[in-house]
């Protein structure tokens, strides 16, 4: 009996000891391989992902409130200049890194061949560089100095580059992107231009012109840096966006991807077309574009814009008593599948008109001005304005070199609803003359000229943000001016 | 093998025969006499069958019969009879000449110091030898008011814990226990719950009636044997097993109780001003296109219905048109009423909650066999409308000695839980999210209830928050009649159905083989399986009856979602146990292995943007492409461990644990972690022999515990595919997390020094523990500046140092036969919990915000919980008033707004002091009064409800008088406004002015200073109150029917005695750093009856 106890005991001990001393204890085979993911990025899918969000990137409500395209209807705070502490950070790990990833995957020796199945490596890289430049410009236009040269490299401790150096590098990037476009396999995942590289080149050149013109306060002269850059872009053989067919736009498929202005009223009604906008359009001979830009909630025509920058105690009862106020866009222009125009012929033509009027180029201001206005009407599917329209005192051009007010005003209308561009042009030209919110809560009560850095900047990028703030005259305030605004 | 067994069988039979033969022979030859008697119990006077009666020093004996009677022939020279029975004190009776004896047996009293501590893998210890703090809470302390959740039940009873409870209106939510501060770099990681060796993910599926005791392993030195799972301490629960009773019969216990719950703590509201935005009401003028029923309202006044704030007219009893007058078809159509305060409207909304808690346990044990089965049911009708919870429990626990060496054990628990209803306590939810954030103070909730089924002929459900009559259009009535942001609250809960179910099966089967005395080996298969489904159905009526309502709650377009999950966790364990005494040394040792594997599968689908066919709840009925998702993972670890302790003469002890883990989640070339603990203790009282000191012990220990990483987080860069396609183009985004290729597991360490003393016949006792711990190189995904291209980096990082003191005191100040008082107190002081290092270049990061953007950024600078180097764990920072250093006064703008300091420090989320006091009074033997208090001091939270409730003019502070004696809501020009002092931000000259009340409170949001909304977590509360009565079944002759009957009146959360904030119950803050719209505090009263047969 005792023998058997020993037998069993030894057996059990042996099992225990064998399992313990087993050399395979640390070998788990493929247990830790995630079955629900791949470790290889698909560049076409990354590109589609980035482009799918461009509607929101190109239409920023805060900036559209600052430049008074929109008014807030029930909870006014942004339009009363409440402190805005959004950080540019999120975009870096979002769309920007996806673009960087396209560049990396098309460059690295071990991945470029696979990536080329989605289009020529050089062309994919060119598109990624163009889109990166687009995003970076919109960010530096809002915040000023931001991380650029050291960003997107995995290192969180980055310096903030000056806006000047960013702008100059962006112009270089765009120039190089145009130059590197080659023939090759068609691009996949391109939901904007369907792989048409000639259009991407036109977009890049158009962006170069907008960037150069943005620097007009800093470099006003006809032979200064800005004018030189503008001319170089204009003279690039690939050309620029001159007809609506070449517009950089997104045609939404609906369902999971809807026009952002459809979403704006899908449940809420926080915004209306501002009274500033309706008044301006009215002054432009009852500009027909009002039928596009605003209509009542039920879609009826209206020219009743929402008073801008008023306190809740005023505006909330006002919208209650004035149910016929204008929503942003007539319903037909903000269906689920309505397109979003991101870079459009009208604004490029008007930019060229301004450059000509400034004497930067020798093109015809008048021709470009008329073409720009016509392109804007055409883009919205409207009949071209009659000759009488151009005779309106607020529209008709005067002597060469004096036409900035008319051109900038038309650009302001043509850029609608792209607040980022509208606000930047107002800061650059002061046109149209905007009155600060009557019930502003900031101090001093002036229209913001930049975004403040976010709390997360001070938390996660303290050294960098503090160095950038030290360079800002006036500190990290909404009324401090970015470099090109000085 | 078979042959051998047969042989053994026959050998046994022969031996038995021989034994009987020998006994018979002896009886024949000896001179004998017969004696008889009866054995009864001291406790209840009942007779005891089955008592073993033997003649001391012989093998002669018998057992008592069913009536407790025995008859035995004893040798003439027999001197003593021995009466023994399991669970009772053995008694010897000296034989006289008498032939009949009455014997009484007493239940064995378990002495205080003999409570057994349970550690991992079911290893039991006498606490005397333990070198770390092991607190044990026994069943009698846990079930005072029949809490249905273990967290509530141990609050205040264990030192070193902070219990963050949850409102009882949120059915099934169990709150969170922090042991010794907390750990890691997140918001806190939660303690481990282990039931009879099986790890449970939360404390939900534990049957409180079934708990024998709970051992709380506070630190690594106590929990080291559990490996990484016990990294934040462990709550080890041992359930009851059948015990042999005196009658050798089956025990039956019926336990039945009910509780009625009502709202207790709610914010203090202002009761002076009605809904709307301006103090003047609007005059209604009847138009020919308006409904004819409105004619009676012509010329009457109404406040702004559409604005969901309460900055409206003063409630002075004046006539006004209430919201419901405009709807056709009610008896109130076209009527006016008096505008009077409704101070209890929010409170009136909530129903009385009812909880029924019933269980039946049967158990039976005999030599070599025990069996216990429990069926329990908890049925709850919640305080929110249409909310219920129903939980049914089946438990079977048995061990069976197959032969004298081999024991089989099985332990099966099945919990099935169904819940119904919405328990949202996020921002802008449909109960407190309105009452405390966006609401009209003049709403009469009884009218709301009365009119919940009121709807227009077009089918729009009536809302208190409809639009103003100026927007009435006879051809399109929806813009007027539909809710602007809100519905009738009762209707919402009618139209939303959220059922869910979880079936959890857990337990183990084991074989224990006793190789020889003191050496045994046990093999266990353990499984915990959870299958769940959940659905949500939001009626399409919500879309038809609301205008902007879907902006806050997209589900209100009509919505259906469904999800199912399957998860299993399996362990295969072996454990060798060895006990041996060598002269003065006593050795206990264990050797074990634990192989773990877990599988998780999840599928879910949701409709998007509404339902095509109204109220048809089907995924394919989605207006837009439905959203689908699935998830699955597999995770394993393997562990081998050894532990041992040595005692010398029962006063000097030493112990150690060694454990090595291999993890599937870690890099395969570096996936092993070794962790150790050791300690010693010295019972000095045995040497001193002082009359007043019954027990004195010092102990010291050191331990470490491993931490691994999340499943599939290494090596990272796992690309998923977007759920939706853009015209056939699929989408992919780059993962946002960088993973350090050298990531490895890490260990946390803690050392402890303890003193335990008991005086005066153990009527007083104190346990004191000082602990000191550090966490180093914790694997954690640290937030990094997204400028890197990534939002976080998973790496080994950081250093947290913590220190604290845990104290427990127990006293029996009074102990008379008719009155006794038991007093226990716990106290813990968190001396420090400091972050020494985060990661290179990272000084601070946010772990939780209560008001955040989609990207997790704090919206408008509202306070967030952060971890920062050089600070304590869990600090609250955010935008607040800038204080002028020179004067100590706040800086002000020329408008009287404060100047925002974006980085203001508001305090820490952890209370410094936590503890509780338990009092048990025994009166007249049969009555027991129990009062359990708990408390905490220090700690802060940010209230989003207070912020929005103040913005909306709901909170008490938005009304009242200023120092001029005028209402603060009056215009500054008329002597109203809020008095503001400070210095001008530019001139630094003193500012002393009045600011319009609404501007002042809106200014906190617009200009960002949230000082007023950060509150203190300090509280003292009476958590449990019970008056119990033990029916004296023997005295009144009920013992034929029942062994014992206990009736008690109970109260849960009866009294929040002290709290710095008057608006919230600080013991039930819904999130680590604050709250976003939490449900109110609840108190409950009820009764319970427990009968043992």
Q: Which uninterrupted H or E stretch holds B450?
A: helix B445-450
Taking only the tens place, the pLDDT of each residue in B1063-1089 is 999 999 999 999 999 999 999 999 999
pLDDT at site A185: 82
Question: Does residue B801 carry a pLDDT above 50?
Answer: yes
Neighbours of B973 (CB within 10 A): 9
Q: pLDDT band at B996, cuts 50/70/90? A: very high
Distance CA B247, CA B39 (A): 11
Cβ contact, residue pair A97, B734, below 8 Å: yes
Distance CA A364, CA A368 (A): 6
Q: List C-alpha distances in Å: A118 to A43, A46, B379.
A: 7, 11, 59
Residue A98 has its nearest CB partner, among B630, B734, B841, at B734
Which of B660, B788, B998 should one mutate to test binding to chain A, selecting the residue with the greatest count of A CBs within 10 A?
Answer: B788
Question: Does residue A84 carry a pLDDT above 90?
Answer: no
Residue B662 has its nearest CB partner, among A4, A25, A85, at A25
pLDDT at site B15: 45
Region A25-256+339-438+446-485: CATH code = 1.25.40.390
pTM across the whole model: 0.89
Question: Does residue B345 carry a pLDDT above 80?
Answer: yes
Taking only the tens place, the pLDDT of each residue in B957-985 is 999 999 999 999 999 999 999 999 999 99
Give A-chain residues touching B717 at CB under 8 angstroms: 39
Mean pLDDT value of segment A353-374: 98
**Pair B678, B702: CB distance under 8 Å:** yes
Taking only the tens place, the pLDDT of each residue in B671-715 is 999 999 999 999 999 888 888 899 999 999 999 998 889 999 999
pLDDT at site B43: 63
* Mean predicted lDDT score pLDDT of chain A: 93
Q: Which uninterrupted H or E stretch holds B92?
A: strand B91-94
Give B-chain residues touching A101 at CB under 8 angstroms: 734
Distance CA A331, CA B1089 (A): 67
More confident residue, A192 or B85: A192
* Mean predicted lDDT score pLDDT of chain B: 91
Question: Does residue B110 carry a pLDDT above 60?
Answer: no
Q: Which of residues 768-807 of B touch A (CB under 8 A)?
A: 783-791, 793
Q: How far is B237 from chain A (nearest CA, A)?
A: 27
Highest mean pLDDT range out of A289-303, B209-223, B541-555?
A289-303
Distance CA A216, CA A194 (A): 34
Q: Structure tokens of B479?
A: 């813009």
Question: Does residue B9 carry a pLDDT above 60?
Answer: no
Q: List C-alpha distances in Å: A314 to B11, B277, B681.
A: 102, 9, 75
Residue B791 has its nearest CB partner, among A45, A93, A266, at A93
Mean pLDDT value of segment B587-612: 96
Q: A68: burial class by Cβ within 10 Å (0-12, 13-18, 19+)?
A: buried
Taking only the tens place, the pLDDT of each residue in B825-863 is 999 999 999 999 998 878 888 899 999 876 667 788 899
Q: Which of A283, A329, A284 is nearest to A302 (CA)?
A: A329
Cβ contact, residue pair B857, A455, below 8 Å: yes
Give A-chain residues touching B724 at CB under 8 angstroms: 255-257
Helices A404-415 and A365-379 pack at an angle, to 10 degrees, of 20
More confident residue, B350 or B93: B350
Q: Domain boundaries in chain A?
A: 25-256+339-438+446-485
Question: Does residue B1059 carry a pLDDT above 70?
Answer: yes
Q: How far is B827 from chain A (nearest CA, A)?
A: 36
Q: pLDDT band at A85, cuts 50/70/90? A: confident
Give B-chain residues touching A25 at CB under 8 angstroms: 638, 640, 662, 672
Question: Does residue A399 carry a pLDDT above 50?
Answer: yes
Q: Cis peptide before A269, with omega less than 30 degrees from 0?
A: no
Q: Which of residues 697-726 of B touch A (CB under 8 A)?
A: 711-712, 714-715, 717-726
Q: How far is B284 from chain A (nearest CA, A)?
A: 12
Task: Determine the residue of chain B that is closest to A40 in CA distance.
Answer: B719
Q: How far is B711 from chain A (nearest CA, A)?
A: 7
Q: Which of A396-405, B102-111, B242-251, B1012-1021 has the lowest mean pLDDT?
A: B102-111
Task: Determine the residue of chain A that is closest to B852 in CA distance.
Answer: A86
Taking only the tens place, the pLDDT of each residue in B459-485 is 999 999 999 998 899 999 999 999 999
Taking only the tens place, the pLDDT of each residue in B709-754 is 999 999 999 999 998 999 999 999 999 999 999 999 888 999 999 9
Q: Structure tokens of B841?
A: 């270049």
The ipTM value here is 0.94
Residue B278 has its nearest CB partner, among A34, A49, A317, at A317
Distance CA B116, CA B136 (A): 8
Cβ contact, residue pair B903, A155, below 8 Å: no
pLDDT at site B5: 45
Residues above pLDDT 90, as percent of chain A: 84
Give the DSSP letter string of B979-1041: EEEEEETTT--EEEEEE-HHHHHHHHHHTT--GGGEEE--EEEEEEEEEEEEE-TTTTT-TTT
pLDDT at site B21: 42
Q: How far is B790 from chain A (nearest CA, A)?
A: 5
Distance CA A308, CA A72 (A): 7
In sequence order, the 6+-apart residues with CB closer than 8 A to the CB of B680 are B131, B652, B653, B654, B655, B699, B700, B701
How many Cβ contacts (< 8 angstroms) between chains A and B?
295
More confident residue, B269 or B244: B269
Q: pLDDT band at B27, cuts 50/70/90? A: very low
pLDDT at site A19: 56
Task: Determine the residue of chain A that is closest to B278 in CA distance.
Answer: A313
B578 touches chain A (CB under 8 A): no
Q: Which of residues 120-139 of B touch A (CB under 8 A)?
A: none
Q: pLDDT band at B20, cuts 50/70/90? A: very low
Phi, psi (degrees; rounded to nearest 5) at B227: 70, -160
């Amino acid at each position: 009996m005792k023998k058997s106890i020993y037998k069993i005991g030894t057996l059990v001990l042996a099992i225990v000891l064998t399992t313990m001393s087993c050399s395979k204890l640390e070998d788990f085979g493929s247990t830790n391989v995630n079955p629900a993911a791949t470790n290889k990025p698909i560049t076409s899918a990354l590109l589609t992902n980035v482009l799918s969000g461009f509607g929101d990137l190109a239409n920023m409500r805060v900036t559209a409130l600052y430049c008074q395209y929109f008014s807030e209807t029930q909870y006014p705070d942004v339009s009363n200049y409440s402190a805005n502490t959004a950080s540019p950070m999120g975009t870096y790990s979002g769309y920007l890194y996806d673009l960087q990833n396209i560049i990396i995957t098309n460059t690295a020796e071990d991945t470029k061949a696979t990536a080329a199945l989605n289009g020529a490596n050089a062309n994919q890289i060119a598109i990624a560089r163009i889109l990166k430049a687009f995003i970076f410009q919109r960010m530096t236009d809002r915040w000023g100095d931001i991380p650029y040269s050291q960003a997107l490299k995995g290192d969180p401790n980055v310096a903030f580059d000056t806006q000047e150096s960013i702008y100059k590098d962006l112009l270089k990037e765009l120039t190089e992107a145009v130059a590197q476009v080659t023939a090759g396999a068609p691009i996949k995942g391109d939901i904007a231009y369907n792989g048409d590289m000639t259009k991407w080149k036109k977009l890049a050149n158009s962006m170069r012109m907008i960037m150069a013109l943005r620097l007009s306060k800093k470099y006003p002269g006809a032979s200064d840096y800005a004018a030189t850059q503008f001319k170089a872009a204009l003279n690039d053989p690939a050309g620029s966006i001159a007809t609506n067919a070449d517009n950089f736009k997104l045609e939404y498929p609906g369902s999971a991807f809807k026009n952002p202005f459809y979403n704006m009223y899908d449940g809420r009604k926080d915004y209306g077309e501002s009274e500033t906008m309706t008044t301006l359009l009215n002054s432009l001979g009852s500009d027909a574009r009002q039928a596009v830009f605003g209509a009542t909630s039920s879609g009826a025509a209206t020219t009743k814009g929402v008073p801008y920058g008023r306190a809740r105690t005023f505006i909330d009862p006002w919208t209650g008593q004035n149910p016929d106020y204008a929503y942003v866009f007539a319903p037909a222009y903000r269906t689920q599948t309505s397109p979003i125009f991101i870079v459009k012929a009208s604004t490029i033509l008007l930019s060229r008109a301004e450059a000509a009027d400034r004497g930067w180029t020798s093109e015809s201001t008048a021709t470009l001005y008329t073409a720009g206005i016509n392109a804007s009407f055409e883009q919205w599917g409207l009949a071209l304005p009659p000759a009488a329209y151009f005779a309106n005192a607020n529209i008709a051009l005067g002597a060469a070199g004096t036409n900035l007010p008319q051109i900038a005003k038309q650009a302001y209308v043509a850029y609608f609803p792209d607040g980022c561009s509208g606000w930047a042009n107002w800061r650059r030209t002061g046109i149209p003359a905007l009155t600060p919110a009557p019930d502003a809560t900031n101090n001093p009560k002036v229209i913001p000229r930049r975004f403040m850095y976010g709390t997360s900047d001070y938390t996660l990028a303290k050294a960098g943000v503090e160095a950038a703030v030290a360079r800002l005259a006036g500190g990290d305030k909404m009324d401090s001016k970015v470099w090109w605004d000085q | 093998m078979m042959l051998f067994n047969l042989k053994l069988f026959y050998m046994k039979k022969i031996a038995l025969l021989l034994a009987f033969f020998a006994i018979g022979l002896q009886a024949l030859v000896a001179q004998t006499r017969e004696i008889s008697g009866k054995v009864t119990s001291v406790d209840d006077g009942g007779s005891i069958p089955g008592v073993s009666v033997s003649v001391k020093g012989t093998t002669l004996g018998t057992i008592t019969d069913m009536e407790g009677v025995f008859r035995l022939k004893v040798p003439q020279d027999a001197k003593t009879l021995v009466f023994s029975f399991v669970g009772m004190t053995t008694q010897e009776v000296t034989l006289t000449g008498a032939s009949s004896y009455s014997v009484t047996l007493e239940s064995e009293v378990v002495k205080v110091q003999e409570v057994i501590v349970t550690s991992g893998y079911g290893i039991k210890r006498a606490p005397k030898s333990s070198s770390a703090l092991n607190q044990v809470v026994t069943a009698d302390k846990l079930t005072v008011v029949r809490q249905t959740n273990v967290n509530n039940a141990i609050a205040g009873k264990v030192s070193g814990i902070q219990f963050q409870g949850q409102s009882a209106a949120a059915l099934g939510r169990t709150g969170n226990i922090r042991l010794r501060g907390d750990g890691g770099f997140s918001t806190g990681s939660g303690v481990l719950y282990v039931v009879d060796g099986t790890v449970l993910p939360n404390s939900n599926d534990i049957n409180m009636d079934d708990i024998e005791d709970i051992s709380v392993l506070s630190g690594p030195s106590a929990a080291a044997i559990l490996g990484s799972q016990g990294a934040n301490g462990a709550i080890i629960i041992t359930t009851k097993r059948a015990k042999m009773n005196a009658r050798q019969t089956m025990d039956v216990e019926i336990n039945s109780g009910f509780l009625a719950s009502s709202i207790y703590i709610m914010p203090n509201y202002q009761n002076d001003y009605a809904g709307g935005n301006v103090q003047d009401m609007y005059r209604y003028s009847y138009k020919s296109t308006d409904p004819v029923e409105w004619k009676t309202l012509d010329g009457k006044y109404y406040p702004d219905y559409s604005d969901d704030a309460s900055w409206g007219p003063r409630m002075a009893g004046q006539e006004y048109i209430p919201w419901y007058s405009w709807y056709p078809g009610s008896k109130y159509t076209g009527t006016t009423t008096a505008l009077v305060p409704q101070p209890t409207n929010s409170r009136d909304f909530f129903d009385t909650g009812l909880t029924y808690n019933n269980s039946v346990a049967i158990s039976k044990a005999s030599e070599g066999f025990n069996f216990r089965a429990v069926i329990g049911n908890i049925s709850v009708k919640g305080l929110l409308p249409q909310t219920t919870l129903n939980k049914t429990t089946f438990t079977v626990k048995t061990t069976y000695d197959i032969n004298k060496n081999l024991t089989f054990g099985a332990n099966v628990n099945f919990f099935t839980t169904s819940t119904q209803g919405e328990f949202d306590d996020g921002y802008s939810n449909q109960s407190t999210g309105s009452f405390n954030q966006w609401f009209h103070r003049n709403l009469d909730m009884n009218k709301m209830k009365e009119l919940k089924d009121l709807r227009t002929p077009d089918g729009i459900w009536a809302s208190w928050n409809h639009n103003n009559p100026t927007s009435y259009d006879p051809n399109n009535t929806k813009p007027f009649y539909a809710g602007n942001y809100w519905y009738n609250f009762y209707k919402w809960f009618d139209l939303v159905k959220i059922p869910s179910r979880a079936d959890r099966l857990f337990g183990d089967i084991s074989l224990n083989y006793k190789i020889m005395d003191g050496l045994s080996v046990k093999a266990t298969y353990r499984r915990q399986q959870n299958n769940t489904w959940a659905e949500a159905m939001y009626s399409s009526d919500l879309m038809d009856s609301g205008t902007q309502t879907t902006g806050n709650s997209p589900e209100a377009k009509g919505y259906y979602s469904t999800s199912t999950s399957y998860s299993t966790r399996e362990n295969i364990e072996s454990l060798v146990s060895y006990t041996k005494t060598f002269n003065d040394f006593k050795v206990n040792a264990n050797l074990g292995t634990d192989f773990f594997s877990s599988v998780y599968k999840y599928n879910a689908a949701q409709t998007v943007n509404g339902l095509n066919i109204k109220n048809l709840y089907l995924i394919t009925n989605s207006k837009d492409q439905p959203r689908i998702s699935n998830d699955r993972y597999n995770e394993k670890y393997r562990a081998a461990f050894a532990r041992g302790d040595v005692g010398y003469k029962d006063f000097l002890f030493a112990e150690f644990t060694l454990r090595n883990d291999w993890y599937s989640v870690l890099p395969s070339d570096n996936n092993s972690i070794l962790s150790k603990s050791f300690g010693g203790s010295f019972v000095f009282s045995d040497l001193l022999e002082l009359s007043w000191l019954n027990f004195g012990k010092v102990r010291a220990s050191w331990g470490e515990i491993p931490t691994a990483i999340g499943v599939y987080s290494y090596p990272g860069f796992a690309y998923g595919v977007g759920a939706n396609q853009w015209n056939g183009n699929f989408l992919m985004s780059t993962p946002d997390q960088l993973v350090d290729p050298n990531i490895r597991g890490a260990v946390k360490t803690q050392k402890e020094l303890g003193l335990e003393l008991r005086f005066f016949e153990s009527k007083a006792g104190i346990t004191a523990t000082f602990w000191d711990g550090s966490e180093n190189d914790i694997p954690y995904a640290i937030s990094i500046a997204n400028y890197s291209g990534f939002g976080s980096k998973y790496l080994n990082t950081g250093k947290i140092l913590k220190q604290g003191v845990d104290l427990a005191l127990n006293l029996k100040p009074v102990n008379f036969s008719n009155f006794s008082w038991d007093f226990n107190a716990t106290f813990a002081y968190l001396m420090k919990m400091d972050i020494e290092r985060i990661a290179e270049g990272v000084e601070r990061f946010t772990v939780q915000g209560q008001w955040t953007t989609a990207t997790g950024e704090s919206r408008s600078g509202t306070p967030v919980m952060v971890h920062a180097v050089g600070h304590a764990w869990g600090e609250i920072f955010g935008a607040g008033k800038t204080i002028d250093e020179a004067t100590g006064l706040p800086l002000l703008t020329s408008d009287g707004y404060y100047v925002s300091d974006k980085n203001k420090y508001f305090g820490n989320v952890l209370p410094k002091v936590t503890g509780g006091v338990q009092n048990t009074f025994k009166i007249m033997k049969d009555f027991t009064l129990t009062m359990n208090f708990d408390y905490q001091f220090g700690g802060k939270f940010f209230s989003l409800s207070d912020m929005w409730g103040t913005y909306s003019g709901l909170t008490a502070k938005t009304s009242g008088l200023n120092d001029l004696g005028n209402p603060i809501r009056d215009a500054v020009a008329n002597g109203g406004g809020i008095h503001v002092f400070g210095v001008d931000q530019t001139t630094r000259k003193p500012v002393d002015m009045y600011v319009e009340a609404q501007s002042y409170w809106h200014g906190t949001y617009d200009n960002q200073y949230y000082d007023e909304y950060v509150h203190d977590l300090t509280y003292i509360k009476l958590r449990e109150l019970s008056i119990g009565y033990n029916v004296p079944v023997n005295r009144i002759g009920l013992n034929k029917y029942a062994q014992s009957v206990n009736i008690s009146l109970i109260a849960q959360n009866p009294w929040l005695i002290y709290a710095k904030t008057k608006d919230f119950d600080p013991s039930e803050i819904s999130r680590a750093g604050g709250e976003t719209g939490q449900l109110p505090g609840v108190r409950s009263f009820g009764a319970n009856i427990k009968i043992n047969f």
